[in-house]
Structure 1
Amino acid sequence: MKIFLCGYMGSGKSAVAKRLAEKLMLPLIDIDDQIALIENKSVPELFKSKGELYFRKRENQVLQDVLEDPVSLLISLGGGTPCYANNLEMILSGKDSILIYLKASVEFLTKRLSSEKATRPLISHLESEEDLEDFIRKHLFERSYYYNQAKLKINIEGRDVDSIVDEIIENLK
């Protein structure tokens, strides 16, 4: 089985994935971390030196490798992973694959991401909180088609990691 977590940046994919992997005793692959490891550069450095298009191509290659791996895995996707190339199609057509969407509102994501702009290449150029909110609103609208194809949608607002993980596990039964 392959369990994929998707959601917008700041939705808690990495934290939820770590705890869920522990509880389900599954190996965890964070797509962004995997790319950084292969490239020997952080994601922000990679965006700066080679651009988003290069990153998205690399992301697609890593996803293909993950899907071909015969081992059961928990995979934390990057926020844009399901939205590029044929990534969503590959995930949804994967044997024994399940896609889970960690859902949050524009307001929640804006508040969470406002202090993290420097480490997030897609939003590092935004100067005001209003610009950030507009950016997230536009992106979330564009990505909602992809995210909403997930089999399971979990609202993460106002919840701790353990309650989110427990809900996911309950719905996997």
Structure 2
Amino acid sequence: MKNIILIGFMGVGKGSVAREVIKHSNYIAIDTDDLIESMENRKIKNIFEQDGEKYFRNIEHNISLWLEKSVKNTLISTGGGFYKVENLKKIGTIVLLDSPFDEIIKRIKAHPNATKKLKKRPLLNDMKKAKKLYDERRPEYLKLADIVVDVTNKSAKECTKEILKKVKK
């Protein structure tokens, strides 16, 4: 079993899908944002506010090196910008969870913890900037992806079935 790396825009459902994949496979799961928060002993929002995005991206780079060298048979759920690490293809099979921007925002706002979810994502504070970021990132995500799963109107369970079927091919 090779690592599976979930990429996609923030709020697309990478964490939900990851939790579902581990229920239905022999993979274990880790989340790059959770690793960063543990390493730094502070929330990502605070890292961005206190040290900036460049500092945060450097931590992601270091984590990517560790993942490549030390992690196997794992589902890796990534932050929205993690796809930029240079060694991503060496870490595992890249699965893009894809959805239109408006659907992602609708999904976040419909969540019972919507306020908390929006607060957790500092780059979503300004919807115009967030949409611009989505428009910049989406073609890059598509170019990198080994597998693309459209998550629009699908449950995490449906996405998981699709991922596991495509990864085994």
Give the TM-score band, short-chain normalised: 0.7 to 0.9
Q: CA deviation at 1:146?
A: 2.2
| Contact kept in structure 2, 1:110 and 1:136, CA below 8 Å | no
Q: 2:107 aligns with which of 102, 106, 112?
A: 112
Structure 1 residue runs without a partner (length 5+): 127-131
Residue-pair matches, total: 160
CA distance in 1, matches of 2:36, 2:164: 27
Deviation >4 Å, runs of 4+: none
SS of 1:78 mapped into structure 2: coil
TM superposition shift of 1:110 = 2.6
Task: Give the Cα separation in 2 of the matches to 1:154 and 1:54.
Answer: 31
Paired position in structure 1 for 2:90:
93
The one-letter code of the counterpart of 1:91 is L
Query: How far apart, in 2, do the equivalents of 1:113 and 1:48 lie?
Result: 22
Q: Is the 8 A contact 1:100 1:150 kept in 2?
A: yes
In 1, Cα distance between equivalents of 2:102 and 2:16 = 20
CA contact (8 A) 2:123 2:130 kept: no
Q: Which amino acid aligns with 1:43?
A: I
Of residues 3-12 and 45-54 in structure 1, the stretch that sits farther from structure 2 once superposed is 45-54
Residues of 1 paired with 2:122 and 2:131: CA distance?
Answer: 17
What is the TM-score with the length of structure 2 in the denominator?
0.88
Whether 1:145 aligns to 2:139 is yes
Residue 129 of structure 1 aligns with which residue? Answer: none
- Structure ranking higher in helix proportion: 2
Unaligned 5+ residue runs, structure 2? none
> Taking structure 1 as the reference length, what is the TM-score of the superposition?
0.86
The residue identity in structure 2 corresponding to 1:111 is K
Percent sequence identity is 28
2:16 corresponds in structure 1 to 15
